[in-house]
Amino acid sequence: MSNPIGYCNETLNPARGCVCVSPGCQHCYARTMTQRFGKEEKAWDGTIRLQLHTLNRIGHWRKRRVCFLGDMTDLFQKDMPPHVIIETLARVRTAPQHIFLFLTKRPERMWQRLREEPVLSNVWCGATCEDQTRLVERAPHMAALAKSGWHTWASCEPLLGILDWSQVTWRPRWIVIGGENGTGARKMFPGWAQRAAIPGVPLWFKGWGSAFQPCGPGTMLQLPRERPWLSTRT
């Protein structure tokens, strides 16, 4: 794996920039990287910089890739120009041999944008569910996407509390769980990680994060690292 995300081996950003929307944004990786290494673009003020030419890289991949689309932005934020999603989907459609992962904290907008689009079997639509409030808010839109036939997944990272999946009807086909990293990271407790898993749903455990390292009885959970598209090509 060639990037810090771990479960994919490629990232593409047809746009960069975002604004914070929920508690999971507090230590946003994209903002940290932009402010640390960005040259002309240190501001994280909602300015969106388009770089649609990066999608051309898809045509050069010879081996099968699992590509995270938009790790330096949220492609479904309000001010994202509509043609960014249209052009991204058009390129993704030409590459059914690769897997593409969307992830958003605005699944209501993802549902709005994708509801009229033909379902793509190589696309997985994800929503961040960092706490129970966000899970309850976001699950209905994800359930609608799943009902329409899209693969859906949940990113419980950074996991900030107990999740109770019995309070929502959405059942993602894959769950990622992880603690927060970086300066000022918040703790993820082992019981939270256990509760966020759904029996029978493939799970990728990304790690405890930098605020908590498990030690002692009951904390050394053996959580798996599974990726469902390796066993299913539906």
Using CB under 6 A as the criterion, which residues of the chain lie in contact with ligand SF4 when the complex forms?
Answer: 18, 20-21, 25, 28, 30-31, 73-74, 105
Q: How far is the CB of 18 from ligand SF4 (least distance, A)?
A: 3
Q: How far is the CB of 44 from ligand SF4 (least distance, A)?
A: 7
Q: How far apart are CA 128 and CA 134, in angstroms?
A: 8
Q: Which is nearer to ligand SF4, 30 or 177 (CB)?
A: 30
Which tokens go with 165?
């999946």
Q: How far apart are CA 91 and CA 82, in angstroms?
A: 15
Q: How far is the CB of 42 from ligand SF4 (least distance, A)?
A: 15
Q: How far is the CB of 212 from ligand SF4 (least distance, A)?
A: 20
Contact of 60 with 31, CB cutoff 8 Å: no
Q: How far is the CB of 45 from ligand SF4 (least distance, A)?
A: 11
Place of tokens 């949220």: 74
- The answer for 85, left when phi > 0, alpha when psi is -120 to 50, beta otherwise, is alpha
Q: Which is nearer to ligand SF4, 21 or 136 (CB)?
A: 21
Q: How far apart are CA 132 and CA 226, in angstroms?
A: 24
Contact of 138 with 129, CB cutoff 8 Å: yes
Q: How is the chain split among helix, strand and coil, in percent rounded to 5?
A: 30, 20, 50
Q: Which is nearer to ligand SF4, 18 or 196 (CB)?
A: 18
Q: How far is the CB of 81 from ligand SF4 (least distance, A)?
A: 16
CB 60: neighbour CB atoms within 10 A? Answer: 6
CA 201 to chain centre: 16
Q: Which is nearer to ligand SF4, 32 or 121 (CB)?
A: 32
Q: Which is nearer to ligand SF4, 179 or 228 (CB)?
A: 179
Q: Which is nearer to ligand SF4, 3 or 219 (CB)?
A: 3
Which tokens go with 94?
């030409």
